[in-house]
Copies of this chain bind each other. A is one copy, B any other.
Amino acid sequence: MRGLLSIMQAHEEIIMKKSGLENIAPALDKYTAGPLADLWKRPDLPLRDRCLVTLAALIAKDQRIGLPSYLVMALENGVTPGEISGMITHLAFYVGWTNALSAIVVTRDVFLRRGVSPDQIPAASPPLLHLDEAAENKRAKSLHQQFGQIAPAMTHYTASVIFRDLWRRPDLSPRDRGLITISALIANGQTAQLPFYLEKARRDGLSDTEAAESVTHLAFYVGWPNALAALSILKQTLKTP
């Protein structure tokens, strides 16, 4: 299997050899080769999705040290350059513009090294995906009632830029946008908006098993405390708890 070989090579490169992990912290090396490597092979979340989740977490935390290797791992396991481009653009709005910029700088180098060509990069203004007007109007109305009076610009940008444009871009499926948004929220410990995005992701095709397994995966990349906080929210949003 190309996928698992690539994971092992990436771990080898990222974590073990370069960093001197086996000399400085043999126990962490053991946990990397044991539970962490096992995690990546668990069937409850496809390998490609684990790459998306990990990249979203690293971009959310602005951690550039592992980013090149995980970008390579993503490209070798079914994530396209266009999806990576779309992901960074998407996350700019959820974790801040300068995190996206940091990611762009690293990604440019990886794309150059791998010979990604310009036609693999999504256009600035492609035809947009269908909009569920009813759901969007409901969302807009709710935000308007909350903040329409004190911050009309926020409600305006949220509708016109985020939900009527960004989320409809075809470079990333709505389900994948949900997955990376949830991952970014968990990485930054932002539980307040998780229910909204969990529900939206479910409507867009993310299963409860995939959501729970994403949290389990994130436990290793953003720490147990953020993962446990997310599980509490996830449990509350489940129809059959």
Which residues of A line the B interface, CB within 8 A? 14-15, 18-21, 23-32, 34-36, 39, 42, 44, 57-58, 61-63, 65-66, 85-86, 88-89, 92-102, 104-105, 107-108, 111, 118, 121-125, 146-147, 149-151, 153-154, 157-158, 161-162, 166, 169, 171, 184-185, 188-190, 192-193, 208, 212-213, 215-216, 219-229, 231-232, 234-235, 238, 241
Does the CB pair A30–B225 fall under 8 Å? no
Chain B residues near A107 (CB, 8 Å)? 24
Does the CB pair A35–B105 fall under 8 Å? no
- Find the residue from A151, A157, A166, A193 having the highest chain B CB count within 10 A: A151
CB distance from A227 to the nearest CB of B (A): 7
Partner pick for A102 among B65, B93, B97, B154, CB 8 A cutoff: B65
Q: Given contacts A19-B104, A231-B146, is CB(A122)–CB(B224) below 8 Å?
A: no
